[in-house]
């Protein structure tokens, strides 16, 4: 099979053909002619931070609805977080979750393992057991405050027990100022060792991580909105406009762009539940920003495709290159439209990005198979692989 068109390949748009065998790219060349695809053929996105709920919270999102939402947003692979109900903190619950994913997911699905005060002494044994069947991308997101929180001492113990990537939600539990809380938590964690820091919201913390051997991610909501603009909570909180602007100026220092897709019902939001849905809108919004010249296309691909695969160890995922899976998201740059919650596929039914402009992908390939075209899903739930 050969797909021909305008591919984002090695840092630029190149008209060429991509030859695919068994879902893998085996050759790329201008002389290879095949099925002509119109539009810009981008590598499909990897969202390393989603909360697909399910289990006892299936009323507000399931792996099925969350993965469908991701598919429509041009995402081929997600990393789900373990603070579910019940939480993913032992091998039995991990296996149960993956069985749900196996019959439900439209896209490729991976799952982090949770860390608590109660399971830290056997976290290495749990990890070993789980990895007999599955690839665990990371331990985390590890909370330092709130539900499922651990102490710095417990985090240090875990860091010494496993070589696996550990992802941290950096908010110091003893600091009331939310800007200082993030910076202090990052400083303390960096003294312990190497981590991946989730949803960083301040330029100072981003700079500390940039100048270390750890890695970071940022979210659309912390980049696009200040605290006075959105009435709903999120953790870490949205910041004052001057802090947000500094984060935007330092966007280039971030390793990864991730949605932190965290759906709740509107009733729960009004009661203070933290988090926003966003897996379907992240790639379309940022591709629109590329078209408008707000960010560079190379930065978007680096932060939403290349680095997620590299940092989390997804060897066959990532850029359009020989030896990688043929995962493509095809965009028509002329097809701009405002985001409307009623058109999205999350169970949440609302979005903070309402009416922001976006360019949604018109065609998606996963492992060489066309799975979505012009709004029509061409595969059934359960098509996605569980890693």
Q: In the chain, what are the domain boundaries?
A: 2-41+325-377, 44-312
The per-residue pLDDT string of the chain (387 residues; one tens digit each, 9 = 90 and over) reads 999 999 999 999 999 999 999 999 999 999 998 889 999 999 999 999 999 999 999 999 999 999 999 999 999 999 999 999 999 999 999 999 999 999 999 999 999 999 999 999 999 999 999 999 999 999 999 999 988 999 999 999 999 999 999 999 999 999 999 999 999 999 999 999 999 999 999 999 999 999 999 999 999 999 999 999 999 999 999 999 999 999 999 999 999 999 999 999 999 999 999 999 999 999 999 999 999 999 999 999 999 999 999 999 999 999 999 999 999 999 999 999 999 999 999 999 999 999 999 999 999 999 999 999 999 999 999 999 999
Q: Distance between CA 352 and CA 370 in Å, rounded?
A: 30
What pLDDT, on a 0 to 100 scale, did the predictor assign at position 35? 81
Choose, from 90, 260, 315, 374, the residue flagged as catalytic.
Answer: 260
What pLDDT, on a 0 to 100 scale, did the predictor assign at position 287? 98
Q: Distance between CA 177 and CA 361 in Å, rounded?
A: 40
260 assigned to active site: yes
> Could you tell me which CATH number the domain at 2-41+325-377 has?
2.30.40.10
- CB under 8 Å to 237, separation ≥6 — which residues? 178, 201, 227
What pLDDT, on a 0 to 100 scale, did the predictor assign at position 69? 98
What pLDDT, on a 0 to 100 scale, did the predictor assign at position 122? 97
Q: Distance between CA 279 and CA 283 in Å, rounded?
A: 8
* Tokens describing residue 4: 């021909």
Overall fold of domain 44-312: TIM Barrel (3.20.20)
What pLDDT, on a 0 to 100 scale, did the predictor assign at position 147? 85
Nearest to 349 by CA among 53, 60, 49, 52: 60
Sheet holding 24-29, edge to edge: 24-29, 12-21, 2-9, 35-43, 328-331, 363-366, 369-373, 376-377
């Amino acid at each position: 099979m050969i797909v021909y068109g305008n591919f984002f390949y090695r840092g630029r748009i190149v008209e060429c053909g991509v030859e695919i065998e068994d879902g893998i790219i085996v050759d790329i060349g201008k002389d290879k002619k095949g099925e002509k695809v119109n539009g810009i053929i981008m590598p499909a996105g990897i969202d390393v931070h989603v909360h697909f709920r399910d289990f006892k919270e299936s009323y507000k999102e399931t792996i099925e609805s969350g993965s469908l939402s991701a598919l429509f947003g041009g995402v081929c692979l997600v990393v789900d977080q373990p603070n579910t109900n019940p939480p993913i903190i032992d091998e039995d619950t991990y296996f149960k979750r993956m069985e749900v994913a196996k019959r439900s997911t439209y896209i490729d699905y991976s799952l982090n393992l949770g860390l608590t005060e109660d399971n830290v002494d056997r976290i290495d044994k749990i990890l070993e057991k789980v990895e007999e069947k599955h690839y665990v991308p990371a331990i985390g997101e590890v909370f330092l405050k709130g539900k499922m929180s651990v102490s710095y001492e417990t985090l240090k113990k875990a860091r010494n027990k496993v070589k696996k990537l550990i992802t941290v939600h950096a908010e110091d539990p003893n600091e009331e100022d939310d800007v200082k809380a993030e910076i202090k938590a990052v400083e303390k964690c960096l003294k312990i060792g190497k981590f991946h820091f989730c949803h960083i919201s301040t330029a100072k913390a981003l700079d500390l991580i940039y100048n270390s051997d750890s890695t970071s991610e940022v979210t659309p909501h912390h980049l696009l909105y200040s605290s006075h603009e959105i009435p709903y909570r999120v953790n870490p909180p949205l910041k004052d406009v001057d802090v947000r602007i500094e984060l935007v100026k330092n966007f280039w220092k971030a390793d990864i762009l991730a949605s932190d897709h965290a759906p709740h019902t509107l009733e729960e939001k009004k009661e203070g539940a933290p988090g926003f849905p966003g897996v379907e809108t992240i790639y379309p919004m940022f591709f629109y920003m590329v078209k408008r010249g707000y960010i560079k296309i190379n930065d978007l691909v680096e932060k939403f495709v290349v680095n997620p695969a590299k940092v989390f160890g997804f060897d066959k995922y990532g850029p359009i290159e020989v030896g990688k899976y043929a995962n493509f998201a095809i965009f028509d740059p002329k097809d701009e439209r405002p985001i409307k919650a009623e058109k999205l596929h999350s169970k949440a039914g609302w979005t903070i990005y309402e009416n922001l402009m976006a360019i949604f992908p018109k065609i998606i390939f996963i492992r060489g198979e066309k799975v979505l075209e012009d709004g029509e899903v061409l595969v059934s739930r359960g098509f996605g692989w569980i890693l």
